[in-house]
């Protein structure tokens, strides 16, 4: 057997080992969202996606880590009182288009800040965030 053949055989052997390891661990991943110990509900993948988007968009800097509001921005738990899903997505894309609204003028005075635009984000991502915010309950 030549050196090239030995290297190819070693590479194929390593590939097969990694492939088998992936197959063995794949079944375990299917149970990641199941709580076998009867504790609190495990965070769903959809909530995980929403929370990572909220972190990436830096919402906590104004609305707080718990999204219940700070001196810089209002709490978001009441979003479902004011918004439909489509309206909230449109607001996130272009908050300045709501600048004439009395509620937003009051927010601007109270919090001394304005909501940034997230128009550079994918609409699907904004939909995930909107669904999460509309589902928040205290």
- Out of 1.10.3730.10, 3.90.600.10, 1.10.760.10, 3.40.30.10, select the CATH number for domain 46-134: 1.10.760.10
Is-above-0.75 flag for pTM?
no
Print the SS3 string covering the chain.
CCHHHHHHHHHHHHHHHHHHHHHHHHHHHCCCCCCCCCCCCCCCHHHHHHHHHHHHCCCHHHHCCCCCCCCCCCCCCCHHHHCCHHHHHHHHHCHHHHCCCHHHHHHHHHHCCCCCCCCCCCHHHHHHHHHHHHCCCC
pLDDT band at 134 (very low <50, low <70, confident <90, very high): very high
pLDDT tens for 95-121 read 888 878 888 888 888 888 888 888 888
Quick one: average pLDDT of 28-46? 48
pLDDT tens digit sequence for 20-32: 888 777 654 444 4
So what's the pLDDT on residue 97?
87
């Amino acid at each position: 057997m030549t050196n090239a053949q030995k290297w190819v055989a070693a590479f194929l052997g390593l590939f097969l080992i990694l492939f088998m390891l992936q197959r063995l661990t794949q079944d375990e991943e299917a149970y990641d969202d199941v709580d076998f110990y009867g504790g609190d509900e495990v965070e769903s993948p959809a909530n995980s996606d929403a929370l990572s988007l909220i972190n990436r968009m830096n919402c906590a800097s104004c609305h707080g880590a718990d999204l219940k509001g700070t001196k810089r921005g209002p709490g978001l738990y009441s979003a479902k009182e004011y918004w439909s899903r489509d309206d909230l997505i449109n607001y996130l894309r272009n908050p300045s288009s709501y600048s004439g609204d009395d509620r937003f003028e009051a927010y601007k005075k109270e919090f001394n800040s304005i909501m940034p635009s997230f128009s550079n984000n994918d609409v699907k991502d904004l939909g995930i965030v909107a669904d999460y915010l509309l589902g928040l309950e205290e």
